[in-house]
Structure 1
Amino acid sequence: MAPILSVRDLDKTYDGGFQALKSVSLDIQEGEVFALLGPNGAGKTTLISLICGLVRPSSGSILVGGHDALKDYRAARQLIGLVPQEMPTAPFEKVGDTVAFTRGLFGLRPDSNLVEKILKDLTLWDKRDNQIMALSGGMKRRLLVAKALAHEPKILFLDEPTAGVDVELRHDMWRIVDSLKERGVTIILTTHYIEEAEEMADRVGVINGGEIILVEDKSELMRKLGRKVLTLSLVEPLPAVPDALSGYNLELEDDGSSLTYTYDTQAERTGITALLTDLSTAGVRFHDLQTDQSSLEDIFVDLVKRS
């Protein structure tokens, strides 16, 4: 199946010579939730701006639903909804009116039932007659999402959608993403809250220095790059790690009361089985064990450091 979004060899160099993107290629499949992670200045917002037509690329191509985003930009943009980090809005405009007006900007007929549903889903229905200036920061963020959904896009970009908002809105956003995914909407998320990517994403891409350094299925990424730590509480303290166990990545606590074993998740079965056998042979007994697994955030930080 052809991807709903395809980026090829995308470059962006701004006036002054700063190269924000370097030959970025990326395919996004219809209906997936894709998390784009990267530190500040990595190129996330530049990439989104290029795809959404807010900035022109220096070179490369962008296909949205089979439409060339540069040559057939009207058809391409019709498929895209964007929730930016910030958006200037008319402060005296009413909430319901601005959502309906946004739908009209795409040449679509008025649909009061759809506008009502969007506002209710985002807990904005009771605010529909309020002026935008009267909304709290969290409500304004919800309004940005409502405006992005007004023309029923096939692809929704969420650029740091929950930065600086309360926990309630963050969980509401997760619920909304789940609902949109069930309807087949493709969602591309940038976030500094990596637990959001861990909660919602199907695939993860990492960008740094304007280059995509990794694209991987989330669960496969955590399986391949994740690390686990097994902590063994010993029956009797040890003065040192026995020579027979020197082949393992073991660390002994200062008081000798516990051993920690760090291992790749790929080596989980064989590594632990062999360790437990060798512990028994060496006469090392334990009364308790505990495992901890690296999170997506740990993996992300490690990848960025390496790049």
Structure 2
Amino acid sequence: MAKPLALTTGEPAGIGLDITIEAWLRRKELKLPAFYLLGDRSSVSNRAKALGLKLELAEVSAGEAPGAFAEALPVVATGHSATARPGHPDDTSAVAAMASIRQAVGDVIAGQASAVVTNPIAKSVLYRAGFRHPGHTEYLAELAATNGHTPQPVMMLWSPALVVVPVTIHLSLRDAIAQLSSDLIVTTARIVVAALKTRFGLANPRLAISGLNPHAGEDGSLGTEDKTIVAPAIEILRREGVEIRGPLPADTMFHEAARKTYDCAICMYHDQALIPVKTLAFEDAVNVTLGLPFIRTSPDHGTAFDIAGTGRADPSSLIAALRLAARMAQTQPA
């Protein structure tokens, strides 16, 4: 029997529980891979009641989850209960969310689960509790650190319509420009190429690299970074045998004809990458963290406090994240 996916609770007051319940209820219709939720059984039960849904729950160990999945939503206890009401995080929220993430990573590293799938967190809630990371991606990298080495995480947004990677992630635009370097672009692209080959089965991935400035700098008249930072990185990668084009004007990279010419677009900063993918594939885009010693996917949306517990949350992105995690696990290198 295949190992299950470890699904985190996310922010207990957000829509993570809603979409988890909805996904499990549609497990047979959609032929979803087996997963278990790391969290608090009473929280799940209370949310199901708030949604008016009949839900069978089974508190199990990770190893027992695949056998329970067909008849009940498997819940693996973290030992941290959450009392937050839908839309209203409280003092238990951050502790429960972080415990769920830590245990999911531990389960995958221990070989009890095949991948980590994370429900959305509320960073503002975590920050008030002392969380010191910009987001999930950086926290997962710290959890994956071994012998004093922390891997470089790379955030990929995957969808059937478009795959994008931002070189700089959760930074202000000012700080993103300051941090951008040829070395960072090269390292990011190498991680992307390796993942596209080993996890996604592409023998010769094609990359498109955006410029930083409007019109990719207009030969230096709109900024020199594309000539002095981006272009040298592309030349290094090209010499390594990577099929790569750029720096390209970002405003002409994402129309239908352009998307057919590459497998992944690597962009210089967060919004340059995420705006097009969320425009084209908001409901089925998946956040994937590359560069870690385990697989991690997540829905590409937030906690949506305003609709938590109302039954209006769409589980499509979580369903896509579960499916992609299972697909990547099947191609995981030995």
Going by fraction, where is helix more abundant, 1 or 2?
2
Going by fraction, where is strand more abundant, 1 or 2?
1
Q: Which has the larger radius of gyration?
A: 1
Query: Which TM-score band applies after superposition, normalised by the shorter structure?
Result: 0.3 to 0.5
